[in-house]
Amino acid sequence: MNIHEYQAREIFRQHGMPVPPGEVATTPEEAEKIAKTLGTGVVVKAQVHAGGRGKAGGVKLAATPAEAREAAGKILGMQIKGLTVTKVLVSPVEEIEHEAYVGAIVDRANGAVVLMASPEGGIDIEEVAAKTPELIFKETVDPRYGLLPHQASRLAYKLYAGDPGRARQAADIITKLYASMLGAGASLLEINPLITTKSGELKAIDAKMNIDDNELFRRTTIAELRDVEAEAPEEVKARAQGLTYIKLDGNVGCCVNGAGLAMATMDLVKYYGGEPANFLDIGGSSSPEKVVTAIEIITSDAAVQSILFNIFGGITRCDDVANGIVEATKEIELKVPITIRLTGTNEDEAVKILEDAGFSAMTDMDEAVQKAVELAKN
């Protein structure tokens, strides 16, 4: 789950992180009022689940409350990476002397949290990683011991060698970053930039936080931070039906049961020269209703040129899936070809249901994927 910067800032605050104050506005007038209350120049920032807001024009400085209103007027309603801005954060403007980067991520290969720091902050960390990877420093946290003080110090001194004052502040911030990660059940946390002000103070002026969905059931206050309006509508719809859906950039719409088979299917689509339009796992046990929702979601993506069903019937019954496909296509007119591969539990019944409805079904996965990829090209 993604949360907004203002929400991540609040979590940071609760862990003692130095974060500037600020309030959220949904109208230009509200932004003006907040700026008046703060009594300083402000920065007005789009609150959307996307990075690169600065480059997109979603971060603006304003010297007066009137300017804050004007800036908010420009940012509210703006589209950033396909997401509409409905909220802005209004925060006192900081005088920046230096921008660094600190982040934390769950490293699945190591089964541990990795802390990262770079003196090259303010720009995309991916860009730093590509051009000057030697300027990204890392520490792996052993989950048995947690973050050890010397690890935080080592990273901090990589950032501010020769400046113990700043390094001490940075070590404290890195420690609080790790505490925030554990506290919120985050899988990724980034402060970019971590700034040094003209007076030598370190502050987090941006906050990105992804929460691990599997942590939400035991963190009800964090779960309440979900902003459904800010999420992609298809993903919201899929979640409501218990489907896992992630939109991708390709044109082969994939509908699969089981995450492993979904990954294998996407690999095979790529292997045969295609690009998957999505990851969609209809789950282990399936009802015709789930299949209907899946088809609704896939067909609502205009990029999809070909639909591929790949079902391995174990607990999932192939006839349930077949019934779902037949039902869905009664309601929704398919504008693109559909390729169906199913095998396993109640396969014969499924083939009969599909053939009676005028569909053909395949049993070989390679053949089906190849066909779906071909159809997407035409």
Residues carrying an active site annotation: 101, 190
Helix runs in 76-227, H state only: 125-131, 149-159, 164-184, 220-223
Contact with ligand GDP (CB under 6 A) among 49, 53, 158, 226: 53
Q: How many CA atoms lie within 13 A of 48 on its CB side?
A: 23
Decide if 68 contacts 113 (C-beta within 8 A).
Answer: no
The answer to the question of residue 116 lying near ligand GDP (CB under 6 A) is no
Is 187 a residue that touches Mn ion (CB under 5 A)?
no
Residues in contact with ligand GDP, counted by CB under 6 A, come to a total of 16
CB of 269 to Mn ion, least distance (A): 34
Locate 296 and state its tokens.
């609704």
Show the binding pattern over residues 183-202: x = contacts ligand GDP (CB under 6 A), - = does not: ---------xx---------
Q: What DSSP designation does 345 have?
A: T
Binding mask 235-264 for ligand GDP (x = CB under 6 A): ------------------------------
**Interface region with ligand GDP, contact rule CB under 6 A, candidates 45-53, 151-159, 310-318, 363-371:** 45-53
Angle at 208 between CA 206 and CA 212, to 5 degrees: 160
Using the rule CB under 6 A, which residue among 21, 52, 57, 284 binds ligand GDP?
A: 52
Q: Which is nearer to ligand GDP, 94 or 234 (CB)?
A: 94
Nearer to Mn ion, 206 or 281 (CB): 206
| Least distance CB 152 / ligand GDP (angstroms) | 23
Q: Binding to ligand GDP by residue 51, rule CB under 6 A?
A: yes
Q: At what angle do helices 365-377 and 259-271 cross, to 10 degrees?
A: 60
Instruction: Fill in the per-residue mask, 204 to 223: x = in contact with ligand GDP (CB under 6 A), - = not in contact.
Output: -xx-----------------
Please check whether residue 171 is in contact with residue 155, taking contact to mean a CB–CB distance below 8 angstroms.
Answer: yes
Query: Which of 99, 120, 206, 319 forms a contact with Mn ion (CB under 5 A)?
Result: 206
Selected binder of ligand GDP within 10, 36, 54, 219 (CB under 6 A): 54
Locate all alpha helices (DSSP H) within the chain, ordered by sequence: 5-14, 28-38, 65-75, 125-131, 149-159, 164-184, 220-223, 233-240, 259-271, 288-299, 318-331, 347-356, 365-377
Is 215:191 a contact under the CB 8 Å cutoff? no
Least distance CB 205 / Mn ion (angstroms): 8
The residue among 94 and 206 lying less far from Mn ion, judged by its C-beta, is 206
- What does 332 interact with, of Mn ion, ligand GDP, none (CB < 5 to 8 A by kind)? none
Decide if residue 192 touches Mn ion (CB under 5 A).
Answer: yes
**Residue appearing with tokens 């400085």:** 61
Q: Which of 26, 73, 86, 122 contacts ligand GDP by CB under 6 A?
A: 122
Residue among 293, 296, 269 at smallest CA distance from 283: 293
The contacts of residue 90 (CB under 8 Å, 6+ apart) are: 22, 23, 24, 25, 31, 34, 35, 38, 42, 43, 44, 45, 68, 72
Closest CA to 177 of 218, 139, 123: 139
Decide if residue 43 touches ligand GDP (CB under 6 A).
yes
Residue numbers 55-74 binding ligand GDP by CB under 6 A: 59
Buried b (16+ CB within 10 A) or exposed e, 171-195: bbbbbbbbbbbbebbbbebbbbbbb
CB nearer ligand GDP, residue 63 or residue 148: 63
Q: Residue 204 CB, nearest distance to ligand GDP (Å)?
A: 10
Residue 276: DSSP 8-state: B
Q: Does 361 bind ligand GDP (CB under 6 A)?
A: no
- To ligand GDP, the closest distance from the beta carbon of 45 in angstroms equals 6
User: Token match 């169906």: residue?
Assistant: 340
Residues of this chain that interact with Mn ion (CB under 5 A) are 192, 206
Residues of this chain that interact with ligand GDP (CB under 6 A) are 43, 45, 51-54, 59, 93-94, 96, 99, 122, 192-193, 205-206
